[in-house]
Structure formats: structure tokens, C-alpha cells
Amino acid sequence: MGTTGSHSTPDAAEFCRALLDPAAATPAGLTGPDGRTAPKRFNVYRNNVIVSLCDALAQSFLAVGALLGEDYFRALARAFVLEHPPESPVLLWYGGEFAEFIENFPPLGAYPYLADVARLEWAWLQSYHAADAAPLDPGALGALAPEAVGEVRFGLHPATRMITSPWAIWDLVRLNRFAPDPQEALDPARAQSVLVSRPELDVNVLLLRPGGDVFLGALMRGAGLGEAAGLALEQCAHFNLSECLSDCLSNGAFSGLQLDR
């Protein structure tokens, strides 16, 4: 098989179309040592591209991989790579659309929690690579005049993320990535919200207490402490301000505070 060496020049666009389309013919003018076109040789490049990008996703989304099993994950990753190839040579930043892709992937409709699992793993990765910064000293609030505390706003630490979900995302990620425990029963249908932070070297994931998502969400949007606490109480009668605030401070969610007035 194969034609002898044509002298037409495959340009990069033609090369690329064939790279991402397994059904496409090998571009003409690419040959083995005998001058014949060489599909198997071209397939080395196709394989390198797809496999290395699927590997990158597998390293970033370990819990999604454990939940789906390797074969299914690789088929899913392959479909994602073909639809969303990377747009930067920095693969640390590859996979930001993976959660949304999973959410809209009809065969996974029976596993509605998977997209939020991917969101949490993406948040973990962003936190891991975020800029370093000193966390706010938890004692800083105590130095404020009591009447000023309600007005205080917090500067967010660069590594801080929050993921809220109607599913048990922390249990799902913990048991499928960080601390597998076959004895522990897992019920995905429990709402969980987590704070992801990295005050020093290690990324922390903290399960937020009731109302903590409303409270921290408001602070992250720039609300004052009093306003955020009021919103959380409105939506959750069990909200405990001192516990939730202490969780955020001891996990290094903030890097500074300011008083507007």
C-alpha cells in the first residue's frame, strides 16, 4: 500500500487536522525511508498527542478516574481532548472545562455528582499552584475595636477556593483520592460545601458547617463580616458565626483585612 513520495507539502494545518482525526488519511509527502507514505509512522504522533493529554487529565482528576475506572476515564478524556485541545503549552492549566464537559456528557447522566467532583479536583489544583502569600493572623480581628468588627472585609488568599454542591463531593473526593476506606459507606446524595485553601505548602480541604457556604460566599464577594453573618443566618438557622469564622481563619482562607469606614 502507500503511494511513492509525492512532492506536495503538507502544511501545519493539514498535519493538525490529521492528528486529531483518526479517520483522516496520512498527509501526503510524509514518508518512511523508502519514500512511501507511512500511516503507522504518522500514528506515532497521533498517539503521542492523545495519550499525553489524557495522561495530563488523569493526573489532575484522580477521583473522577477512580470513580469511572481507567477504561471509561480514558474514553471520556479522549472525547474531551478532541473537543477541547489545550490552548497553552502550560499543561498545569489544562482541564478547566472538564467539569462542564462531564456535566453535558449524556452517557454520564446517571452520575450527576461527577461534574462537581471534577470541580473540586480542579479547585484543588488551582490552589496547589496559586501564588504564595502569608495567611491573615487569626488574632488580627481581636485587635479591632468591637464596633468595627461588623464592618470588616477580608482580602482573599490567592489559594482560596470554595465549591458548593448538592452532592457529597468531599466524601467522594476523600474516599476516591486522598484516603480510600472500603469500610466507609458513601451516600452521594448529601449536600456538601468545602473550603479549599493553602496557607503554607499543603492544600487543605475543609467541609464547611451549615450556612458556611453562604457566609464564606458573601465574604468572597466582598461583603462585610456583619452582612455575611446576617445572610447566613437568614438562610440557615443553625449557622454558628464564631465556629465558621474560626474555621476560615485557621485554614488560612484570607490574606488580609480592611476597614472601609
Residues that bind another protein (CB under 8 A): 1-2, 5-13, 15-16, 19, 29-36, 38-42, 44-45, 48-49, 52-53, 56, 85-92, 128-133, 158-159, 198, 201
The grid cell for 199 is 496557607
Q: At its nearest, how many Å lie between another protein and the CB of residue 157?
A: 11
- Minimum distance between the CB of residue 111 and another protein, rounded to whole angstroms? 28
Residue 64 CB, shortest distance to another protein, in Å, is 20
Q: How far is the CB of 129 from another protein (least distance, A)?
A: 3
Residue 36 or 78 with smaller CB distance to another protein: 36
Minimum Å gap between C-beta 8 and another protein is 8
- Tell me the backbone φ, ψ of residue 237, rounded to 5 degrees: -65, -25
User: Could you tell me the strand order of the sheet in which 204-207 lies?
Assistant: 161-165, 192-197, 204-207
Contact 101, 80 (CB under 8 A): yes
Rg (the chain; Cα; Å): 24
Choose between 19 and 175: whose C-beta lies nearer to another protein. Answer: 19
Distance CA 94, CA 259 (A): 38
DSSP letters spanning 161-221: EEEEESS-HHHHHIIIII---TTS---S-S-EEEEEE-SSSS-EEEEPPTTHHHHHHHHHT
Instruction: Tell the smallest beta-carbon distance from residue 159 to another protein (Å).
Output: 8
Q: Which is nearer to another protein, 42 or 154 (CB)?
A: 42
Buried b / exposed e over 124-147, threshold 16 CB at 10 Å, is bbbbeebeebebbeeeebeeeeee
Nearer to another protein, 18 or 67 (CB): 18
Question: What's the DSSP call for residue 4?
Answer: B
62/108 with CB nearer another protein = 62
C-beta closer to another protein: residue 33 or 182:
33
